[in-house]
Amino acid sequence: MSSEELTHLVTRAEALMQLERWQEASFMLGQALAIAPDEPAVLATLARVLHVLDEVQEAMRLAKQLVHVAPENTEGHAIIAELALQSGDLEQAQRSADAWLQLTPDSYAAQETACRITSRRGHRRQALRRADDIRRHFAHKADAHLLHAYMAQRMMRIRLLRESAERALELEPQNSEAILLTGRAWAYKTKTELKAVELLANGCALYPDNEEMREELDSAIKFYVGSATVLAFVALIFPPSLFYIIWDITLGRQLRIRKLTPGVKALVRKRMREKNALAFREMGIGFGLITLIVTGFQLHRGDYTFDTSSIVINSVALLGLCAGLWGYRLAHKRANF
């Protein structure tokens, strides 16, 4: 085969990669590699494709071959560093990242990978300092600020997390990671809890299939209006609180979300309804079990009496059981569980 045929195979493989038809791209690149076994571009591209196909060992073999035939080619070191980091071989990842940085010290990808390796090795303070240098050097890149935000989050440095996440959000307002991290940072602070709910609700509208975004919205709602599950647990421990809890969940929370915009309010109300339904269901099961156990024990001992305390206890338990059945109905019919 001629060099024109080699170019044709690589071009077709690249077109297939654009369509995410990785298996067919791998076949084309395999044919190209048979023509030119030591061609750096073919080795690098095939290694990347095999990485996507989760054929890690073969991808690593090709990357090492690339480093051997073209030690100045950064792709080989980059692929080895990424594969080694993924597999947990941090020593190999560090060596390859160092070689990568030596060849391209101003590469954002090289610096980011080296930072992540440092963090994975347990040097969190050093990783945070490194991420801070990266975000200053690449101030125009949202990813650089997100990297710093992630490192700050691992150190529980909430102020730094908020600053970097907000800057990333300014640069890319629809970046899902920026929305997620900014919402998380805002939820930690009392004065910005409402903003967190608004932002994450809008993020859920933009990315309806993002499960992590939905979980973060639930957490922000919990921070803002309180946890329905915790209230249900309190009701089990201290039954007289049940009356206040029912008022809080049915009316009090609606008052607390009145400042939200209409679209966000509808989504938040739906998420709250789902969580409230589950909480009531758990509470009802708890009250029902307690009632059965206590009553069964008294009947077994033969000392069950219809005195005032027994009537009060069973009435509260019955009320809790009714609330649980209501929650069961909500969970299955209104919240579509």
* 276 or 184, higher pLDDT: 184
Amino acid letter, residue 24: E
Q: Which two tokens stand for residue 251?
A: 């009316």
The yes-or-no answer to whether 1-107 and 123-225 have a common fold is yes
Q: Which of 174-183, 201-210, 266-275 comes out lowest in average pLDDT?
A: 266-275
Distance CA 89, CA 123 (A): 16
Q: Which long-range contacts (CB under 8 A, 24 or more apart) does 328-337 make?
A: 328/277, 328/280, 328/281, 328/284, 330/273, 330/276, 330/277, 330/280, 331/274, 331/277, 331/278, 331/281, 334/273, 334/277, 335/270, 335/273, 335/274, 335/277, 337/274, 337/277, 337/278
Per-residue pLDDT at 319: 66
Per-residue pLDDT at 197: 80
pTM, entire model: 0.68
pLDDT by residue (tens digit) across 63-97? 999 999 999 989 999 999 999 999 889 999 999 99
Measured in residues, the chain has a length of: 337
DSSP output for 248-313: IIIIIHHHHTTTS-HHHHHHHHHHHHHHHHHHHHHHHHHHHHHHHHHHHHHHHHT-----HHHHHH
pLDDT by residue (tens digit) across 126-179? 999 999 999 999 999 999 999 999 999 998 898 999 999 999 999 999 999 999
Domain boundaries, the chain: 1-107, 123-225, 229-334
Per-residue pLDDT at 1: 47
- The domain 123-225 having CATH identifier 1.25.40.10: the answer here is yes
3-state SS, residue 148: helix
pLDDT by residue (tens digit) across 198-209? 888 888 888 988
Looking at the chain, list the stretches that DSSP marks H as alpha helix, in order from N- to C-terminal side: 3-18, 22-35, 40-52, 56-69, 74-87, 90-103, 108-120, 124-137, 142-154, 158-171, 176-187, 193-206, 211-225, 228-237, 242-247, 253-256, 262-301, 308-329
Q: Which residue has the tokens 């200053």?
A: 136
Q: Which fold has domain 1-107?
A: 1.25.40
Contact 121, 105 (CB under 8 A): no
Mean of per-residue pLDDT scores for the chain: 80
Q: In the chain, what's the furthest Cα-to-Cα distance?
A: 99
Nearest to 149 by CA among 113, 177, 171, 126: 177
- Could you say which DSSP state residue 212 is in? H
Nearest to 238 by CA among 276, 277, 279, 283: 283
